Amino acid sequence: MCGIVGYIGSRNAYPILIKGLKRLEYRGYDSAGIALQNGSVNVYKKQGKVTELEEHMMGMDLSGTMGIGHTRWATHGEPSDLNAHPHVSNNGDFTIIHNGIIENYTVLRTSLIEQGYKFKSETDTEVLANLIEYIYRSQKVSAEDAVHLALSKVVGAYGLVILCNQENDKIIAARKSSPLVIGLGENEYFLASDATPIIEYTDRVIYLDNDDVAVIKRDELILKSTKRNDALKPRIQTLDLGISEIEKNGYDHFMLKEIFEQPRSIRDTFRGRLNLEKNEIKLGGLYNVHDKLIHAKRIIILACGTSWHAGLVGEYLFEDLARVQVEVDYASEFRYRNPLISEEDIVIAISQSGETADTLAAIQLAKEKGATVLGICNVVGSSISRETHAGVYTHAGPEIGVASTKAFTAQVTVLTMMAMIIARSRGLVGNERFAGLLNELEDIPEKIDKILQQNDKLKEIASIYKNVNNALYLGRGVSYPVALEGALKLKEISYIHAEGYPAAEMKHGPIALIDENMPVVVIATKDSSYEKIVSNVQEVKARNGIVIAVVTEGDDTIEKMADHVIEIPATDPVLVSLLSSVPLQLIAYHIAVMRECNVDQPRNLAKSVTVE
């Protein structure tokens, strides 16, 4: 969703800001803008892509060693030049960019209108700009104090970066529930909503905490909290992120790069955690909650989208291996359902970005009710990783493509390791079975490599079905979430309607859809329900349906029935989703490319969904 970038120092700010906005494009947006401070503040903004803003700014005054930039994903008001950020207060005192939502903006807007303020846009952000200015002028306080006072009147979430025309030696930044990171250079500072625009300049960063307000001058950074008046000591961290990780490195799209990265990303997920010699798995982030985890009577998994699908795989793993009762809920449903939670419950929140608003709110609710909340996040330092009591990072590396791929397999890898730890601690999995699973897990990257070698074949299958209007994905057991995930991948990037279903449910409704035009993708690998899924394939074929089957290498039964067979290497059935999800990612990718869709930034979607 919205992205923030800022710079103060001695270099020209514009190239840093425009490049930063390009780095933030992956988050999803509909307009972009930049403000440059050079004695006075010049604001440029445009609906559309960052390149359109760049063209618009050609030939303009781009000087200034301090400035801010924003990519907007519309919430209050349609995408337009006027609604784009930055927003300037009525008298030009304050120019601000904002991620998040000011919930009480209508009330604030009405009272500012009573004071004579006029609004050009429909946004909550312009209200905030004017509120700060109103306080600044009426109470004759400093810009910093005006920001503190204004924020005390605000209900909602914000990542906020502010320029003040009269105090033009500083940038003010504030955070509540919407991330902001400050990069530290030599007499210069970089600001951003995530580290991607900063990484090429510095690896020393400060992540703002909730309620922090930073006043940043070229040679000084003062950090305070809206809750207390004394200065806080900033915690400087080192970014563990390389520039190559946020570039395409020769791939046509980030999504393709990320699909092909999976052997590496899964190895990174279990690096230093699996120990084959000692036949053990260690997840350092869970040490403090180990006892609670192994004695848990119930685990509640909360997530959205692809992370929710990983949670469903987790349900199978925890129940099958560790015999723990598991509930998997959409975070957005859980938070509005008055759910039953007790202090004995373990809640696991799964999120690639660690910023998903619904998941964050669900975590808050679970904490209020006394549950122990664990996080599985990819983005280090993200809000969810901070809000949870303990957790495990997936270490998949930055995922830039909006369609989640390597994050999913990394999440499943973590859930597998957790389930194995609990199962063994509960005495449910003996040494031999544990060692077998450990070895199989270690072999997964190599097996994914083998699947990736079938890319040309998968592209060929994609070319046959690129023009269909509908597709059905079927799976049983642990393959059911894989079916859901395969369908989500196809629909979100190719705009083809696709549904995932438990295979046995087909006869209760979706079977009516089957004809000679609609492909049915069946995950039919060898496990305890193999015979049943063979029957489902026959049921589809008996109605002239088209079957694309994902099968275990060497399967010659389904080969005789299906129209296309995609073989994946054999593995323990518990781990099969790590393999079977990969060809489905590639088919969706190729179909989307052939339909000339914007694969990395599908329409209407955002990478991290920071609003409800």
By annotation, the residues acting in catalysis are 2, 607
d(CA 233, CA 414): 34
Site string for ligand M6R, 226-265 (x = CB under 6 A): ----------------------------------------
Q: How far is the CB of 404 from ligand M6R (least distance, A)?
A: 4
| Residue 540 CB contacts under 8 Å (≥ 6 apart), including other chains | 506, 514, 520, 522, 547
356 scored as a contact of ligand M6R (CB under 6 A): yes
Which of these ranges, 349-357, 421-429, 454-462, 513-521, lies near ligand M6R under the rule CB under 6 A?
A: 349-357
CB 388 within 8 A of CB 349: yes
Q: How far is the CB of 16 from ligand M6R (least distance, A)?
A: 27
Alpha carbon distance, N-terminus to C-terminus of the chain: 12
β-pairing verdict for 66-72 and 3-8:
antiparallel
Q: How far is the CB of 351 from ligand M6R (least distance, A)?
A: 3
Classify 171 as helix, strand or coil. strand
Of residues 165, 359, 385, 610, which one binds ligand M6R by CB under 6 A? 359
Closer residue to ligand M6R (CB): 35 or 410? 410
Backbone CA torsion sign across 608, 418, 329, 514: positive
Closer residue to ligand M6R (CB): 304 or 482? 304
User: What is the DSSP-derived secondary structure letter of residue 506?
Assistant: G
Q: How far is the CB of 1 from ligand M6R (least distance, A)?
A: 10
Of residues 353, 536, 552, 580, which one binds ligand M6R by CB under 6 A? 353
Q: How far is the CB of 352 from ligand M6R (least distance, A)?
A: 4
304 scored as a contact of ligand M6R (CB under 6 A): yes
Which of these ranges, 19-27, 92-100, 265-273, 298-306, lies near ligand M6R under the rule CB under 6 A?
A: 298-306
d(CA 536, CA 543): 11
Of residues 414, 458, 609, 610, which one binds ligand M6R by CB under 6 A? 609
d(CA 597, CA 304): 24
Q: How many CB atoms lie within 10 A of CB 503?
A: 28
Closer residue to ligand M6R (CB): 87 or 489? 489
33 scored as a contact of ligand M6R (CB under 6 A): no
306 scored as a contact of ligand M6R (CB under 6 A): yes
Q: Would you report the helix, strand and coil content of the chain in percent, each value rounded to 5?
A: 40, 25, 35
Q: Which helix (H) or strand (E) holds 125?
A: helix 124-139
Closer residue to ligand M6R (CB): 165 or 404? 404
Site string for ligand M6R, 382-421 (x = CB under 6 A): --------------------xxx-----------------
Q: Under rule CB under 6 A, which residues in 456-495 are in contact with ligand M6R?
A: 488, 492
Of residues 37, 352, 416, 494, which one binds ligand M6R by CB under 6 A? 352
Closer residue to ligand M6R (CB): 131 or 493? 493
Of residues 71, 479, 585, 608, which one binds ligand M6R by CB under 6 A? 608
Length of the chain: 612
d(CA 169, CA 8): 9
Q: How far is the CB of 429 from ligand M6R (least distance, A)?
A: 29
Encoded amino acid at 325, one letter = Q
Q: How far is the CB of 311 from ligand M6R (least distance, A)?
A: 10
d(CA 494, CA 466): 9
Closer residue to ligand M6R (CB): 212 or 258? 258
Q: How far is the CB of 583 from ligand M6R (least distance, A)?
A: 16
Q: How far is the CB of 609 from ligand M6R (least distance, A)?
A: 5
Closer residue to ligand M6R (CB): 304 or 582? 304
Closer residue to ligand M6R (CB): 195 or 223? 195
Which of these ranges, 32-40, 299-307, 474-482, 574-582, lies near ligand M6R under the rule CB under 6 A?
A: 299-307
Closest CA to 114 of 98, 97, 138, 94: 138
Closer residue to ligand M6R (CB): 402 or 503? 402
Q: How far is the CB of 380 from ligand M6R (least distance, A)?
A: 14
329 scored as a contact of ligand M6R (CB under 6 A): no
Q: How far is the CB of 271 from ligand M6R (least distance, A)?
A: 21
Encoded amino acid at 283, one letter = L
Residue nearest to ligand M6R (CB): 305
Burial class (CB in 10 A: 0-12, 13-18, 19+), 589: buried
CB 228 within 8 A of CB 182: no
37 scored as a contact of ligand M6R (CB under 6 A): no
Closer residue to ligand M6R (CB): 307 or 416? 307
Of residues 71, 165, 307, 585, which one binds ligand M6R by CB under 6 A? 307
Classify 217 as helix, strand or coil. strand
Of residues 351, 529, 536, 581, which one binds ligand M6R by CB under 6 A? 351
β-pairing verdict for 181-184 and 204-207:
antiparallel
Q: Give φ, ψ of 597 to 5 degrees.
A: -85, 160
Encoded amino acid at 199, one letter = I
372 scored as a contact of ligand M6R (CB under 6 A): no
- Contacts with ligand M6R by CB under 6 A: the residue count is 17
User: What is the DSSP-derived secondary structure letter of residue 177?
Assistant: B
Q: Which helix (H) or strand (E) holds 71?
A: strand 66-72
Q: Under rule CB under 6 A, which residues in 119-148 are in contact with ligand M6R?
A: none
Which of these ranges, 119-127, 186-194, 278-286, 303-311, lies near ligand M6R under the rule CB under 6 A?
A: 303-311
d(CA 514, CA 443): 37
Q: Would you list the DSSP string of 227-274? A: S-SSPBPP--EE----GGGGS-TT-SSHHHHHHHTHHHHHHHHHTTTE
Closer residue to ligand M6R (CB): 493 or 540? 493
d(CA 231, CA 218): 18
Burial state string for 46-78 with b = 16 or more CB within 10 A and e = fewer than 16: bbbbbeebbebbeeeebebbbbbbbbbbbbbbe
Q: How far is the CB of 498 from ligand M6R (least distance, A)?
A: 13
CB 298 within 8 A of CB 326: yes
User: What is the DSSP-derived secondary structure letter of residue 137?
Assistant: H
Closer residue to ligand M6R (CB): 4 or 488? 488
d(CA 550, CA 581): 9
Residues that bind ligand M6R (CB under 6 A): 304-307, 351-353, 356, 359, 402-404, 488, 492, 605, 608-609
